[in-house]
Amino acid sequence: MKILHIAPNAFPFVGGIEVILKFLSKTEQAFGGNELVIAFPDRSHLFSGEFEVEKTRIVPLQVLRQKQSLHFFPKPKYSPSEIVQIFSNYRSLIMKESPDIIHLHDYSEASMPAISVGNALGVPIIQHLHSLIDESYPKDLIANFKNLKHFICVSVAVKISLDLALGYESKAQVLPNAIPPIAWNEPSSPRIKNHILMVGRCVPSKGFDIGMKVLENLRNDGVPATLEIIGNGSSLGTLMAISKHKGFDEYIHFAKLKTREEIFKSMRRASVMLIPSQTQEGFSLVALEAAMCELPVVATNIGGLPETISDGLTGFIVKATDVAGMTEKVTLLLSDKELAEKMGRAARFRQQSVYNYQQYRDRLDALYVNVISSQ
């Protein structure tokens, strides 16, 4: 079975979707069965042509440089001839690859052309939603969703947001993300006392500025806490400026996104994972990764986070605006080592049972077969 994945970004970019695709690439190479091709919009023309990662072909799609994205119809910045060119490029891609199925991830410049051309050519399409549909979603794209029959949602929260956007209850399948098991090559170092970790894209929706307020509260309360922020993004400069302005450079360490192995090493050293997301959190791979490292999580009640984290069992869930509540729960975990270790063990057990990677792959393959057979 040949699967054409079309994503907003691909390697070497690092985000939740890219991580999931990399896992799929690795496991397909290890166990075989499916041929994967991953395509993504090359917005800045960084790549001269296709390349391979993990023996999987990556196809950068040339788009018109830095123009307003095509999915913001009905007010595009493109001329009619440019739109025709874009659709023609996607038609050429799909005809050349001749996939058994197109697997679309979230939305990007690729979404509308891929849906239109795929439907016209009779290629089955699965739309995979990794984040919540909110007011930022283009209404024209949601209208295009009504031309699709098959959806995957990473959480119940995402499915609810899809149904609300469509105006009816969809037949979307809820398939939570999963991570392959990891064999640690070395024993973990002792956890750093009072050390808090935040990992992800440094953008406003992740709420890292809220996490810095939690650190400020802790230190004002006499807790000698430190904070490590691992991530890149548009807000990184602002966060670093806040840290300097408040005199926190001694207590906050900023690190660019590392390899997964390096991130796991940081997770195995930390005392608490803080996920202060404010919007758009359909699921949290970071929470799953923390669970693999037996690291308890304090997170907000946004989107799929309350599904990923069992409140009071594997961590704590607080309101997104409740900085005092976050501070209280982080303080509790920092002060009660026995509770933190108990929650960490429960988190790992739940990750291995509820978010089993082999079951994830089996369900995904079954969905592919069902979609193709129903076409």
Instruction: Tell me the torsion sign for CA atoms 158, 162, 168, 170.
Output: negative
Query: In whole angstroms, what is the distance from residue 85 CA to residue 113 CA?
Result: 11
- Which residues on adjacent β-strands are paired with residue 173? 152
Instruction: Locate the domains of the chain by residue range.
Output: 2-178+356-374, 195-354
| pLDDT number for residue 70 | 43
CA–chain centroid gap for 269, Å, is: 23
Between CA 277 and CA 284, with CA 279 as vertex, the angle to 5 degrees is 55
Backbone torsions φ then ψ of 5, nearest 5 degrees: -85, 130
Q: How many CB atoms lie within 10 A of CB 235?
A: 19
What pLDDT sits at residue 75?
46
Contacts of 369 (CB under 8 A, 6+ apart): 1
Which residue type does 45 have?
H
Report whether 273 contacts 149 (CB < 8 A).
no
Sequence-distant (6+) residues with CB within 8 A of 182 are 264, 292
Distance CA 176, CA 12 (A): 24
Q: What is the pLDDT of residue 27?
A: 78
The CA distance from 318 to 10, in Å, is 33
Integer Cα distance of 151 and 169 in angstroms = 12
Cα distance between residue 335 and residue 253, in whole Å = 22
Q: What is the C-alpha to C-alpha distance for residues 254 and 231, in angstroms, rounded to an integer? A: 8
CA–CA separation, 351 vs 26, rounded Å? Answer: 20
Domains 2-178+356-374 and 195-354 share a fold: yes
- Choose which CATH entry (3.40.640.10, 3.40.50.2300, 3.40.50.2000, 3.40.50.10860) describes domain 2-178+356-374: 3.40.50.2000
Average pLDDT per run of 10 along the chain, which is 375 residues long?
88 76 79 82 80 85 53 54 81 93 87 88 94 82 86 96 93 93 77 96 92 97 96 91 93 86 92 94 93 96 95 97 97 97 96 92 93 89
Question: Residue 374 burial (CB < 10 Å; 0-12/13-18/19+)?
Answer: exposed
The architecture in CATH of the region 195-354 reads 3-Layer(aba) Sandwich (3.40)
